[in-house]
Structure 1
Amino acid sequence: MTHVQPIKAVGATGRRAHLSALDGLRGVSILGVLLFHTGHLSGGFLGVDLFFALSGYLITDLLLREIAATGSVSLVAFWGRRVRRLLPALAVVLVGVALVVWAVGQPDVVRTTLADGPWVQLNLVNWHLLAESASYWDRFGPDRVFEHLWSIAVEEQFYLVWPVLVLVVARWGGRGVAVVAASVSVVSLGLMIVLADPADPTRVYTGTDTRAFSLLLGAVVAAPPVQAALARAVGRAAGAVTALLAVGIGATWFLVDGVDSWWLFTGGLFAHSLAAALLIRLCAQAPSTPVAKVLAWRPLRWLGLISYSLYLWHWPVIVLLGPHLADQWSRTAVVCAVSIGLAALSKYLVEDPIRYRAGWARGWRGAVAFAGLMVGLAVLWVALPAPASTTIDLTKLG
């Protein structure tokens, strides 16, 4: 059996050691989403929940380490890092896909692309899509190239609000953060149960308020008191517990079927997110368990490292290339190859250079660049002419 490693003190820099298994979990998450969207894994959409829990854990861990090292959190610095990490790749996708769609896309696709783009830019596309009353489960088709970005919007909204709450409750330490995260998670679950519509659970599946628990349960297990309690509870059984969680999550991905699995929206998603959060923390605390070692497999880790751009690119590729490929497995192979290629180019030519090496992306020059990019994107949505809607003269029918 494997012992859970004791929680280590935070260093002066507030940084943590890199955890290869967590990169592997990202790889598993994006694989699930890819298989779901190409028609091979009915519950692969739950990879998004694993992403959410992982984001909640990593961001909260980062914030708590900064508080332990410096006594506070620099919100401006935090948001600046998030912008440098996420916006460049997103902007490339928005511009590139919009131009391709405008040049070769069907009129309906062009119209929805130009209508959805500004909301993606503002990180509000999940609420925009809900306002249009389009079902999530029926909506994924050939008409929209940006609809998958609802989950990115939810995460960005979390990044905007959660650091402020952590800073407010930091005086009570990790225990206060855990209590707040757990309490809001329960409220979020309650909202999901109350607002869920058996005919169409889209509102509760893509709404930020009803999905907050997926991120916040990850935040709960990032709090040191919770980590210590989990380490004591698991003890020598870390390997067995981690394996049980991994098998349970995997089985769920094979068994659920979207809207037909109603139990997901009355507590099932909450249970899945909790299991994901526990798995994440145990992989971090016990990296020598068999599950953690499998997740640290180099190809899976690499897939996790490009997972953000791969998520951004895969759905536009499916929409634009999918209709031209009749065979499902050929379609899957082409979509995966093209999407992975574009994601790799994005990581090595756009994301990493701007995130790690571009001095102009920091400080006042970074603020100017951010403002210029946002203005440029706003101009794009206005400058590209949308095709006129087709109208039918009802007086000529009959």
Structure 2
Amino acid sequence: MQHSRNRDLDGVRGLAILLVVAAHSGLPVRWGGLSGVTLFFVLSGYLITSLLIREWDRWGSLSLWRFWGRRALRLLPALVVFLALVPVLLWATGDSRLPDYPAAALASLFYVGNWVRIAGSDLGVLNHLWSLSVEEQFYVVWPLLFIALMAWGRAHLLGLVFGLTGLATVYSVWTKGDFIRLDISTETNAFALLLGVSLAFALASMARKGWHPPRVNVLIPFVVMVLVSAFPSHDVATDHTLFRPLGAIYAVLGVWLVASAVLGHSSIVASRVMVFFGTISYALYLWHQALINSVLLGDKTIPRNLALIAVAVLLSWLSWVLVERPVGGLRGRFRLDEPSARQRAALEKEPVP
């Protein structure tokens, strides 16, 4: 399995954020929000699980402190800066939602924004942070479940993970209820994360058995994902009959795309433009929708939205240069190629075979 920096995966991340941004701008990528977020979930499930497997195979255990520390250093600095600057934007534009902002910011900071929205509260310009809440909840729960599964043994682990993924997918497609819950609840989006988890386990199992899948063309699933994201629909926000089934289709396409990026290469997917957007994707995710949903520049039109997205790109680049990249250097203290103190002590007692 490939663990070094993969430009094709960066390009896949760039595609995910561009699909989301295009949909929010009003461009005719009607399902880009659903496809982009689903692709993010698949990619997160794969990358996080790959890191967990790598650490477990090397040291025979998992350091939760190191894992959660790396996640906090990756996500919190840019989020805190964003949450601190948004009220300045609301105040400067005379936005009437400013008094409600502190509660919305706290819900987002503690990653419960999706549940707060399901309960009936509006988070204003932070409504889009529901998907960050889902991912962070995954980061909290999945390592604990991973440890339990790995301690139980690998003999039937792949089948169990595939089974859980299948059940979660069937549940997501067939469950009924309020649209907001179907859209942003953790349980209806878990299947996409689990598909990424399944992919990580499958590729790790192939590597352990010495199987080497052939290289593939990443560009084919890349183009298919874009085309299917433009699938016509009368009203994305209310078409319940298509919403969850299309989510499952996008998740499967996401697995195809991520697997292709791991096993193959495309100069287009790994181009400077796609890698650039993949690099700033987190900050762009934070900023673009907050600006679009603000009262800046009047009513929402495509030209107005695109202008604000250009501002969001600039802010996202500044976030990467001034916040995310410098703080990323601190993650060196959580290096995976060296055992933690507890792992080192365990290795001295009983070396990993």
TM-score tier after normalising by the smaller chain length: 0.7 to 0.9
Letter in 2 for 1:29: A
Letter in 2 for 1:97: V
Structure 1 residue 147: Cα displacement: 0.3
Residues 1-398 of structure 1 correspond to what in structure 2 (within 5 A)? 7=1, 16-40=3-27, 41-45=29-33, 46-107=35-96, 109-132=97-120, 144-171=124-151, 177-197=157-177, 200-224=178-202, 228=206, 235=214, 238-239=216-217, 242-257=218-233, 258-259=236-237, 261-287=239-265, 292-320=266-294, 322-324=296-298, 328-329=302-303, 331-357=304-330
TM-score by length of structure 1 reads 0.75
Unaligned stretches of 5+ residues in structure 2: 336-353
Equivalent residues, number: 329
Residue 118 to residue 106, structure 1, CA distance change in 2 (3 Å): same
Structure 1 residue 171: Cα displacement: 3.5
Residue 184 to residue 328, structure 1, CA distance change in 2 (3 Å): same
Does 1 or 2 have the higher relative contact order (CA < 8 Å, sep 6+)?
2
Q: Deviations over 1:105-143 (max 9, x none)?
A: 332x12442331111111000000010077xxxxxxxx8
Letter in 2 for 1:249: M
Q: Is the 8 A contact 2:26 2:301 kept in 1?
A: no
Helix, strand or coil for the counterpart of 1:320? coil
Distance 2:101 2:72 in 1: 23
The answer for the alignment partner of 2:341 in structure 1 is: none
Helix, strand or coil for the counterpart of 1:303? helix
Letter in 2 for 1:250: V
Structure 1 residue 44: Cα displacement: 1.1
Structure 1 residue 348: Cα displacement: 1.1
Q: Is the 8 A contact 1:189 1:267 kept in 2?
A: no
Distance 2:243 2:299 in 1: 34
Percentage identity across paired residues of the two chains: 34
Distance 2:114 2:52 in 1: 26
Q: Is the 8 A contact 1:196 1:203 kept in 2?
A: no
The answer for the alignment partner of 1:379 in structure 2 is: none
Runs (4+) off by over 6 Å = 231-234, 358-362
Q: Is the 8 A contact 2:93 2:295 kept in 1?
A: no
Q: Is the 8 A contact 1:56 1:219 kept in 2?
A: yes
Q: Please report the RMSD computed on the Cα atoms of aligned residues, expressed in angstroms.
A: 2.8
Q: Deviations over 1:240-288 (max 9, x none)?
A: xx4543333222100154245444445331222022012101211122x
Structure 1 residue 174: Cα displacement: 6.0
Helix, strand or coil for the counterpart of 2:57? helix
Helix, strand or coil for the counterpart of 1:324? coil
Distance 1:195 1:133 in 2: 23
The answer for the alignment partner of 2:346 in structure 1 is: none
Structure 1 residue 85: Cα displacement: 0.4
Q: Is the 8 A contact 2:173 2:248 kept in 1?
A: no
Letter in 1 for 2:57: A
Structure 1 residue 352: Cα displacement: 1.4
Q: Is the 8 A contact 1:181 1:217 kept in 2?
A: no
More displaced stretch, 32-41 vs 183-192: 183-192
Structure 1 residue 233: Cα displacement: 10
Structure 1 residue 293: Cα displacement: 2.3
Helix, strand or coil for the counterpart of 2:268? helix
Residue 130 to residue 43, structure 1, CA distance change in 2 (3 Å): same
Letter in 1 for 2:15: V
Q: Is the 8 A contact 1:169 1:176 kept in 2?
A: no
Q: Is the 8 A contact 1:175 1:223 kept in 2?
A: no
Structure 1 residue 159: Cα displacement: 0.3
